[in-house]
């Protein structure tokens, strides 16, 4: 009878097989970095084998990251602070501007976002909080990142001929980008009563024509203002009530 010191001979599992197992688990984890416990739950051999093969768990993750990169996949870091506020707000802005109003959970998921709904909830302690923080960020004069295209300059550049400007101004519909610009200028506050979703989430903001569209008021920044739903409904020209915005 022979006594084996080790239960399994580690050299029986080749490095490529260990790496393949790591890749399989990574796939299950939606390509987010994982720990030994996640591995042990899913793989056929123990995470200690991985550690022995690569020297350390972090080295195994490095090897996995390289292997995935060769397949054109990025292994995302797991730690909570992975996304910066700048990234979170930039993605929020992209979806928000596309919709023209605060995204609901369904709308967010429909928009195929780069950052998940759950991630926002986790980071900000809830979806409403996330939206609120975004509004505050915008009201403070965001976007903070100069690399992020300024909607205003981009629009001016993309609007060189007066014919297009006229077509835009002649429509009652306020385009999403312009609507956000009005909100920004008015600091996300109703210009009549001063209420804002920044301090009160029940406040619904709308963009309103100062000179009503029906009376030849144009859909341009100068003729638009931010009103809360209450004040907007209180206005004489009821035709001017916009679709729910923020
Ligand atoms: Zn108001």
CATH code, 59: 1.10.10
212 CA to centre of ligand 1 in angstroms: 17
Q: How far apart are CA 62 and CA 64, in angstroms?
A: 5
Measure the CA angle with vertex 121, ends 116 and 123; round to 5°. Answer: 95
Alpha carbon of 232 to ligand 1 centroid (Å): 7
Q: Is 84 left (phi over 0), alpha (psi -120 to 50) or beta?
A: beta
Residue 235 and residue 175 in one domain? yes
Domain range for 110: 80-139
Question: Would you give the end-to-end CA distance of the chain in angstroms?
Answer: 78
Q: Is residue 145 part of a domain?
A: no
Q: Is 101 contained in some domain?
A: yes
Asked if 155 contacts 162 with a C-beta cutoff of 8 angstroms, the reply is: no
3-state secondary structure of 228: strand
Could you read off the pLDDT tens digit of each residue along the chain, which spans 246 residues?
Answer: 555 555 555 557 899 999 999 999 999 888 888 888 889 988 888 999 999 999 888 889 999 999 999 999 988 876 655 788 888 999 998 888 888 778 889 999 998 888 889 889 888 888 887 887 888 777 655 543 333 333 443 334 444 445 555 555 668 888 877 888 888 888 888 999 999 877 676 778 889 999 999 899 999 999 999 999 899 988 754 544 444 444
DSSP state of 76: B
Per-residue pLDDT at 7: 54
Q: Which residue has the tokens 């998940």?
A: 116
Residue 80 CB-density burial (10 A; 0-12 exposed, 13-18 middle, 19+ buried) = exposed
Q: Give domain status of residue 108, yes or no.
A: yes
* Number of independent structural domains in the chain: 3
d(CA 240, CA 155): 25
Neighbours of ion ligand 1 (CB under 5 A): 190, 192-193, 228, 231
| Residue 148 exposed, middle or buried by CB count within 10 Å (0-12, 13-18, 19+) | middle
* Alpha carbon of residue 60 to chain centroid: 30
Residue 146 in domain: no
* Token pair listed for 115: 């950052």
What is the Å distance from ligand 1's center to 245 Cα? 14
pLDDT at 56: 85
pLDDT on residue 2: 57
- Specify whether the backbone of 43 is left (phi greater than 0), alpha (psi in -120 to 50) or beta: beta
56 and 95, same domain (yes or no):
no
pLDDT at 188: 86
3-state secondary structure of 140: coil
Asked if 18 and 50 count as a contact pair (C-beta separation under 8 A), the reply is yes
Helix ranges, 11-141 (H) = 15-28, 36-42, 47-54, 57-70, 85-99, 105-110, 117-124, 127-139
> Among 28, 51, 70, which residue terminates a domain?
70
Query: What's the pLDDT score for residue 196?
Result: 84
State the distance from the centre of ligand 1 to the C-alpha of 209, rounded, in angstroms: 14
* pLDDT of 171: 81
């Amino acid at each position: 009878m022979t006594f084996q010191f080790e239960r399994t001979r580690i050299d029986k599992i080749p490095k490529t097989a260990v790496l393949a197992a790591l890749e399989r688990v990574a796939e299950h984890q939606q390509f987010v970095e994982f720990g030994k416990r996640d591995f042990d739950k899913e793989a056929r051999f123990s995470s200690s084998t991985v550690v022995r093969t690569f020297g350390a768990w972090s080295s195994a993750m490095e090897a996995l990251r390289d292997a995935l990169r060769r397949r054109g996949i990025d292994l995302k870091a797991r730690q909570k602070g992975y996304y910066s506020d700048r990234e979170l707000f930039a993605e929020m802005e992209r979806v928000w501007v596309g919709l023209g109003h605060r995204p609901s959970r369904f709308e967010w998921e429909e928009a195929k976002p780069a950052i998940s709904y759950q991630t926002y909830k986790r980071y900000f302690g809830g979806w409403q909080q996330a939206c609120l923080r975004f509004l505050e960020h915008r009201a403070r004069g965001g976007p903070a990142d100069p690399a992020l295209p300024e909607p205003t300059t981009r629009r001016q550049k993309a609007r060189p001929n007066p014919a297009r400007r006229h077509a835009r101004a002649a429509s009652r519909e306020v385009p999403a980008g312009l609507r956000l610009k009005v909100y920004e200028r008015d600091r996300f506050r109703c210009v009549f009563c001063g209420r804002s979703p920044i301090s009160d989430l029940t406040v619904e903001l709308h963009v309103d024509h100062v000179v009503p569209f029906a009376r030849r008021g144009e859909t341009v920044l100068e003729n638009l203002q931010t009103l809360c739903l209450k004040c907007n409904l209180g206005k004489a020209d009821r035709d001017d009530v916009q679709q729910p915005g923020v």
